[in-house]
Amino acid sequence: MFIGHYAVGLASKKLAPDASLGALIAAPILLDLLWPIFLLLHWERVSIEPSSNPFLRLAFDSYPISHGLVAVIGWATLFASLYFGFARYALGAIVIWIGVVSHWLLDYVVHRPDLPLYAGSRLLGLGLWNHRVATIVIEVTMFSFAIWIYQKQTRAKDGIGAYGFWAFIIFLLSAYAGAAFGPAPPSVKAIAIGTLFSWLFIPWAWWFDRHRELREAIPEADAPKVTLAGG
């Protein structure tokens, strides 16, 4: 899953409105931020397989450090603890913890049985990726709903808040289209290096989110008053 994880981050603004979108986006994609590092260090392994279905071109041979459920709970706890230490926002820390763990749960739905609980455990996965069209429809629906939630929760204060946000959305959709309809990656190293660029989405989200504000109810003093004649 790709934009489905970003959907979780965008929608999380509703649950933790005072948290930066940068942190809320980082949480559900954290495992995929760590994974390319472990690939380059040869701590985890992936291989490329020929397939007419682009979602099935990667065989995740071993990735218990980044994607094993026990490790995921550890990463979630570490990230949430660090966030709370800096921000002192308990609700934000809870939502971030849930966001990190949500990555494994969403991957469980789409992956073939290749997700471990821990190193050497049995492998799990429901295999939605076997159904390409269904995968795309579900992810795009999730992403569209999350955009709607974020737009209802916040509004742009200036051009950066508006155009920076929509540029972010368009870029993610373009990247997803490339993954869903494009050719197979040329090498494992290219996969790792390309995935590392996902780190840039965090400051990008932080940047435009700082140029947006929470939508609030109209204060009572500013609300239009209706007077009844002849009373």
Rounded to 10 deg, the angle between the 69-87 and 90-110 helix axes is: 160
Is pLDDT at 9 greater than 80 in this prediction?
Answer: yes
The whole-number average pLDDT for the span 195-203 is 95
User: What's the confidence (pLDDT) of residue 216?
Assistant: 78
The whole-number average pLDDT for the span 97-120 is 97
User: What's the confidence (pLDDT) of residue 230?
Assistant: 41
User: What's the confidence (pLDDT) of residue 224?
Assistant: 45
101 CB-near residues (< 8 Å, 6+ apart): 72, 73, 76
Q: For 165-190, how does the pLDDT look when each residue is reduced to its tens digit (9 = 90+)?
A: 999 999 999 999 999 998 889 999 99
pTM: 0.91
Q: What is the DSSP string of 164-214?
A: IHHHHHHHHHHHHHHHHHSPPPS-HHHHHHHHHGGGGHHHHHHHHHHTEEE
Bridge partners of 156, per DSSP, are 212
Q: For 20-61, how does the pLDDT look when each residue is reduced to its tens digit (9 = 90+)?
A: 999 999 999 999 999 999 999 999 999 999 999 999 999 999
User: What's the confidence (pLDDT) of residue 141?
Assistant: 97
Is pLDDT at 6 greater than 70 in this prediction?
Answer: yes
Q: What is the DSSP string of the chain?
A: --HHHHHHHHHHHHHSTTS-HHHHHHHHHHHHHHHHHHHHTTSSEEEE---SSGGGSEEEEE-HHHH-HHHHHHHHHHHHHHHHHHH--HHHHHHHHHHHHHHHHHHHHHS-S-EESSTTSPEE---GGGSHHHHHHHHHHHHHHHHHHHHHHEEESSHIIIIIHHHHHHHHHHHHHHHHHSPPPS-HHHHHHHHHGGGGHHHHHHHHHHTEEE--PPPGGGSPP---TT-
Q: For 138-165, how does the pLDDT look when each residue is reduced to its tens digit (9 = 90+)?
A: 999 999 999 999 999 999 999 999 999 9
Is pLDDT at 220 greater than 90 in this prediction?
Answer: no
Confidence of residue 228 (pLDDT cuts 50, 70, 90): very low
Confidence of residue 120 (pLDDT cuts 50, 70, 90): very high
User: What's the confidence (pLDDT) of residue 229?
Assistant: 42
